[in-house]
Structure 1
Amino acid sequence: MVYALQEHTVSCPYCGEIISVVIDGSVESQEYIEDCEVCCRPITFTVEVDHTGLYVQTSHENE
């Protein structure tokens, strides 16, 4: 199943603020870095897509 762009809310691993991000679900497995819109620190996003859904994990840049 292909998932289009989806909006997700995640917690910043640095400042703890809840932020809204848009995830591209058309790629089965991806990892990228995006700055937190509140504290501007780099968040690593790991995205996995399978037949049951889209999963997003966030972590510090160097974890």
Structure 2
Amino acid sequence: MQPFVDVSCPYCGETIGLMLDASAGEQTYIEDCHVCCRPIVVSVGFDEDGEPQVSVHAEDEA
């Protein structure tokens, strides 16, 4: 089963749901906000219990 997490868009603030691929391990990718369509950088890692650790930021943030 793939984990599903809710995050807030760094642009519009709306909560969006992301389905994570746990089999891919740590990853960083760009996903468009489902509300405002702006590009969000998503960074995913997993702790020792397999729980997802997700952070998001705007594409133009350092």
TM-score after normalising by structure 1: 0.85
In structure 1, the partner of 2:36 is 39
Contact 1:28 1:50 in 2 (8 A): no
CA RMSD of aligned residues (A): 1.1
**More strand by proportion, 1 or 2?**
1
Letter in 2 for 1:40: C
Runs of 4+ residues deviating >2 angstroms: none
Structure 2: gaps spanning 5 or more residues: none
Distance 2:25 2:60 in 1: 23
Distance 1:17 1:45 in 2: 15
In structure 1, the partner of 2:18 is 21
Distance 2:29 2:58 in 1: 12
**More helix by proportion, 1 or 2?**
2
Count matched residues. Answer: 60
Identity %: 47
Structure 1: gaps spanning 5 or more residues: none
